[in-house]
Amino acid sequence: MTADRSTQAYVQRNIRILLAACMLAMLPACAETKWRSDAHRMVRTELYFGLLRPDGSPIAADQWQRFVDAHVTPRFPDGLTILDAAGQWRNAAGRIIQEPSKVIIILRDDSAEHRRAIQNIRDTYRRTFDQESVLLVQTRQWVSF
3-state per-residue secondary structure call for the chain:
CHHHHHHHHHHHHHHHHHHHHHHHHHHHHHCCCCCCCCCEEEEEEEEEEECECCCCCECCHHHHHHHHHHHHCCCCCCCCEEEEEEEEEECCCCCEEEEEEEEEEEEECCCHHHHHHHHHHHHHHHHHHCCCCCEEEEEEEEECC
Structure confidence at residue 41 as a pLDDT band (50, 70, 90): very high
In a domain, 137, yes or no: yes
Query: How many domains does one find in the chain?
Result: 2
Residues 51 and 78 reside in one and the same domain: yes
Interval 81-118: pLDDT, tens: 999 999 998 888 899 989 999 999 999 999 999 999 99
C-alpha 117 chain-centroid distance: 17
Residues 84 and 117 reside in one and the same domain: yes
Tell me how far apart the alpha carbons of residues 34 and 67 are, in angstroms, rounded to a whole number.
36
Whether pLDDT at 77 is above 90: yes
Which domain range does residue 20 map to? Answer: 1-30
Residues 115 and 85 reside in one and the same domain: yes
Name the nearest CA neighbour of 86 among 53, 51, 62: 51
Whether pLDDT at 29 is above 60: no
In a domain, 35, yes or no: no
Interval 43-53: pLDDT, tens: 999 999 999 99
Sign (positive or negative) of CA dihedral 34, 38, 40, 42: negative
Asked if 46 and 104 touch (Cβ cutoff 8 Å), the reply is yes
Name the nearest CA neighbour of 100 among 55, 66, 60, 137: 60
Residues 9 and 45 reside in one and the same domain: no
Residues 71 and 121 reside in one and the same domain: yes
In a domain, 76, yes or no: yes
CATH classification of the domain holding 52: 3.30.70.120
